[in-house]
Amino acid sequence: MSRARRQREREMQQAGRLPPGQSLTEKFPVLHYGPIPPFNPATWDFRVWGEVETPRTWSWDEFNTLPRTRVVMDIHCVTRWSKFDTEWEGVSVRTLVEQGYIRLKPTARFVILHAEYGFTANLPLEVVLQDNFLLATHYAGQPLTPEHGYPLRAVIGVIPDRKDLKTTYFWKGAKWLRGLEFSPVDKPGFWERAGYHNEADIWKEQRLQF
């Protein structure tokens, strides 16, 4: 617990960037259930299905030709650490929709994130289409490390000064992501079924659900 860390934490609090019950970390903790999956670029694919006009699959090479976006945001873990000004690069779902790579049916209302080993997380469609949700391949200018989700993970965080965007705790950012299911109905994911809050709003401290 360094002086510098506490000083920065106070600054973030005064700037209105520290959600209730959180504390600032300069590390990047690793949290997940189960083992880290291997990655084989020859067999990896990314699937989009459900309430879309055309279900599709991208290979790893194809995924890397999609339009790219860089976002800087604050991430907030339900285990009470917050990390500020983290830099992510990858693919924006909104861009994919706007540019016609994904054509949504009007019945699409929720997105189920599917990761390796059957892990899922769920979010409302409007959150997935926000600027603070990204399918990330890079963190801080480098490819993701295996423990943080290489080759692809979802991320959601706060873009400072964008209080209009909904932000959830970081667990909704599925690591080792393999696909998006657009659904007419909500389907609670792995942690949500284990008792974590379905909405997970960081400002309302929606941590657990009883």
Ligand X SMILES: Nc1nc2c(c(=O)[nH]1)N[C@H]1C(S)=C(S)[C@@H](COP(=O)(O)O)O[C@H]1N2
Residues of this chain that interact with Mo ion (CB under 5 A) are 31, 171
Q: How far is the CB of 101 from ligand X (least distance, A)?
A: 23
- Select the span of 29-37, 42-50, 128-136, 181-189 touching ligand X (CB under 6 A): 29-37
Q: Tell me the C-alpha to C-alpha distance, in Å, between residue 93 and each of 45, 47, 80, 127.
A: 16, 13, 28, 10
Closest by CA position to 132, among listed 112, 160, 96, 99: 160
- Select the span of 63-71, 96-104, 124-132, 167-175 touching ligand X (CB under 6 A): 167-175
Our finding on whether 173 is near ligand X (CB under 6 A) is yes
Our finding on whether 63 is near ligand X (CB under 6 A) is no
Our finding on whether 29 is near ligand X (CB under 6 A) is yes
* Member of 49, 59, 69, 77 binding ligand X (CB under 6 A): 77
Closest by CA position to 197, among listed 186, 210, 181, 183: 210
Strand boundaries in the chain, DSSP class E:
23-24, 45-50, 56-59, 69-76, 81-91, 110-115, 120-124, 133-139, 142-143, 153-156, 177-183
Per-position x/- string for 111-140, each x denoting binding to ligand X as judged by CB under 6 A, each - no binding: ----x---x---------------------
